[in-house]
Structure 1
Amino acid sequence: MSQSSLRLRDIQKSYGKIHVIHGVNLDIEPGEFVVFVGPSGCGKTTLLRMIAGLEDISGGTLSIADQTVNDLPPSERGVAMVFQSYALYPHKTVYDNMAFGLKIAKVPKADIDRRVREAAEILQITEYLQRLPKALSGGQRQRVAIGRAIVRNPKVFLFDEPLSNLDASLRTKMRVELATLHRRLGATMIYVTHDQVEAMTLADKIVVLNKGRIEQVGAPLHLYNHPASLFVAGFIGSPQMNFLGGEFARQHGATTVGLRPEHLKVMAGGSLQGTLRHAEMMGNETFAYVDAGELGEITARMDGTLPLRPGERVELGFDAQHLYRFDAEGKAL
C-alpha cells in the first residue's frame, strides 16, 4: 500500500461572500492517521471534500505526494473516499460493488479478482462476496465500502463519518477494526468525525476545527493534557471539562479555570461545595452532577459507587496541579 504526504497551504473556501474555510495550513506525513474533529458546521467535511476534489478550492495550494492537485479531478488525485452512507449498488453483489471502479478504469480482469479477494480477506468478508448488500448487516456493508476503497490502492484514504450510522457497540468494534486496518496497510488516512472518542482512540494526530479555522493540532493525549484554548479543553474529553469563573478563577490568577471530572474527589473539607443533583452509577464508576450555586453545575467522575442520594450536600476536593487556567480570550495560560 502506497503512502503519501499532504500539504495544505493557506487553504480557503468561499461560497460567494460567505467564507467557510479561513487559511488552513497543515502537514500530513506519509502513513499518518489524521482525524479532523469539531462541532457541526466547523468546516471539517468541507475540508475533506476539498482534498477529495469534490469541492473547488477558493484559495491556497493543496499538494498530495509533492504534486499540486488544486485543478486535478478526483479520479486523478490518488484518493479513495468512504462515505457516511455506504453508497453501495443494491443490485450488485459485494464482489461487483468492490470491483466496479476497477472495471470502469479498465483494469485487467485477473488483477481485479486478485485485488478484490485480497481486500476481502483483510476485511474478513470473503464469505459474503456473492451476497447482495441487503443481506448484510450495517457493519458488513461498511466493510464493503472500505474494501471498495482498498482495491484502488490509493495514495490517501478519506473517511467521512463512516461509523455514525452504526449502533454504539458496533461503532466500538469498528473503531478497533479501523485501527488494525491502518496498522496493516500503513496507508495515509484522513478521518472526519464529530465524535471526540473516535478522534482520541484512532488518531496519530488530531486537527481540532472551529468555525473554519484550526484551533490546535497534536497527538490525542497532548491535546487532552495541554489544550491550547477553552474550545479545545471543552471539546476533547468526555464528560466535558468543568469551567469555573468568578472569584474562584480570580483566586487562581485566571478568568476561567478548568477541572476535568476525574480530578475531582468527593471528600470531607473539599473547597467546592454543592448539592448532588444526580448520580449515574455505571458499576465500575460514577458520574456525580453537583449544583455548586454561583459556580454552576460541576461533574465529578469517581471509581465505584457513590453512597449519596440526590439532594444531599457534597464537598469536592482537587489537587491544584490539575487546574487548567484560561485568560479572557479563552487562551490557555
Structure 2
Amino acid sequence: MADLLLTNIHKSYDKTEVIANLNLTIKSGEFMVFVGPSGCGKSTLLRMIAGLEDISSGTLTINDEIVNDVVPAERGVAMVFQSYALYPHMTVFDNMAFGLRQSKTPKPEIERRVNGAASILQITDYLKRLPKHLSGGQRQRVAIGRAIVRDPKVFLFDEPLSNLDAALRVQTRIEIAKLHNDLDATMIYVTHDQVEAMTLADRIVVLNAGHIEQVGSPLELYNSPANKFVAGFIGSPKMNFIPTTHKALTSAPDNVTEIGIRPEHLIHTTKAKAKLNGRLRHIEQLGEYALAYIDLGNDVEITAKLEGESGLQHGADMYLTFDAKKVHHFDSNGVTLSTTMASA
C-alpha cells in the first residue's frame, strides 16, 4: 500500500492546459475514484500517476518519494486499461505471468502469484484457455489478475468496465470492490459513470475542465455538493434546477438564484398540498419506480422519481411537494449556499 501526494500538478500540451494547479492527497489503502465528464482530465491525471504522461510542473510523491522522473516499471504501480490488451496467442496463465517472466522472477514465485491471483478472481479453471475462449468479463478479470501478480503499491483502473454489458458491469464492479477489501490495497479508479463512482469509492474526486470541483465521500457529495456542477453530476437521475424567479417560487433570499431538488425527493400530491405544478410530458415505467418528466412552464422542465407503478398518462396535471430541508440553494456563480428558503 502507498500514500500518494499530488502537489501543484500542471499538464499542458503546447499551449493547451489540461490540468491546472491540482493538489490531492490519496491515503494508503484508500479506494479513490476520479469522475467527471469527457475531457475533464481524469484519464490524463491517471496516466501521469502511472508515468505514461509527463508532468509539466508540480510533484508526484508515492510513499514519500518524488517519482516525476521514475520510469513506470519502477513506480510500484499496475494499471488496468479499458481494453483488455491480452496476448491472443498466450494462455491465461502466460498472459498473467508475462510481466513476471520479463523481470526474471523465479518460476516457483511466478506460479505462486499467478495461482493466487487466479484464486482471488475465480479464474483458476481458465488458466489453460486462450483469451478467445473467454467472455468479456473473464477477460477483464485476467487483465486485473495481470496487475495483481505484480504486487503493486497502487492499482490504477482506467474505465475498466466500459466494454462490458450492463449485467457484467454490475458483476465486475462487485468483484472489484471485493478485491479492494481482500487486498486492502490503494486503488485509483477513473470513470465517467457516477453510479460506479458512488458504489465503489471511499472518496470521489469530481473533476471539471482540469480542476477539482470537490473531494469527499459519496454521501458527502450527494448530500452536500459544493456547487451546481457537483450537484448536477452526482445522482441519477440528475438534480433538478429551478430559477427562483419561477412563478412557483414566491419568495427567496436575494442571494439565491436557483434551487435544486433531486428527483427522488419530489412527492406526488394533491393540488391543495402542491408546491410545484406542471404537465406530464413523458413517463418511463420501470416497475419498482417511474420517472416522470414534467413541464413547469417558463422553459423549466424537471424529473420526478415516483415510487411503484404509475397510472399517469401523457398530458396529465402534476402536483408535487417536497421537504424544504432537502432543497439545495445556489448563488449566481453556482456556489452552494446554506440559506433556507422562506417558502418552499
Which whole-Å CA distance do the structure 1 matches of 2:221 and 2:142 have between them? 33
Equivalent position amino acid for 2:293 in 1: Y
Which whole-Å CA distance do the structure 1 matches of 2:251 and 2:5 have between them? 44
Equivalent position amino acid for 2:318 in 1: V
Equivalent runs, 1:146-295 vs 2, <5 Å: 146-248=144-246, 251-253=251-253, 254-269=256-271, 270-294=274-298
Which whole-Å CA distance do the structure 2 matches of 1:213 and 1:279 have between them? 36
1:94 match: 92
| CA offset digits 1:209-258 (Å, max 9, x no partner) | 00000000000000000000100000000000000014246823211110
Equivalent position amino acid for 2:270 in 1: A
Which whole-Å CA distance do the structure 2 matches of 1:208 and 1:85 have between them? 24
Structure 1 residue 320 displacement after superposition: 1.1
- The percent of aligned pairs where both chains have the same amino acid is 64
Structure 1 residue 168 displacement after superposition: 0.5
Structure 2 counterpart of 1:105, from 103, 106, 111: 103
Unaligned runs of 5+ in 1: none
Poorly superposed stretches of 4+, deviation over 4 Å: none
Q: SS of the residue aligned with 1:146? A: helix
CA contact (8 A) 1:244 1:295 kept: no
2:314 match: 310
C-alpha spacing 1:105/1:250, structure 2 compared with 1 (3 Å): farther
Aligned residues, how many? 331
Deviates more, 1:26-35 or 1:279-288: 279-288
CA contact (8 A) 2:244 2:259 kept: no
CA contact (8 A) 2:244 2:252 kept: no
Which whole-Å CA distance do the structure 1 matches of 2:96 and 2:221 have between them? 37
2:342 match: none
Equivalent position amino acid for 2:146 in 1: R
Equivalent position amino acid for 2:150 in 1: R
1:35 match: 33
The two structures have a TM-score, normalised by structure 1, of: 0.98
Please provide the CA RMSD for this pair. Answer: 0.9
Q: SS of the residue aligned with 1:9? A: strand
Equivalent position amino acid for 2:7 in 1: R
| CA offset digits 1:145-180 (Å, max 9, x no partner) | 000000000000000000000000110111111100
C-alpha spacing 1:109/1:244, structure 2 compared with 1 (3 Å): same
The two structures have a TM-score, normalised by structure 2, of: 0.95
Which whole-Å CA distance do the structure 2 matches of 1:252 and 1:301 have between them? 25
Equivalent position amino acid for 1:255 in 2: T
Which whole-Å CA distance do the structure 2 matches of 1:236 and 1:103 have between them? 43
2:81 match: 83
Which whole-Å CA distance do the structure 1 matches of 2:74 and 2:261 have between them? 48
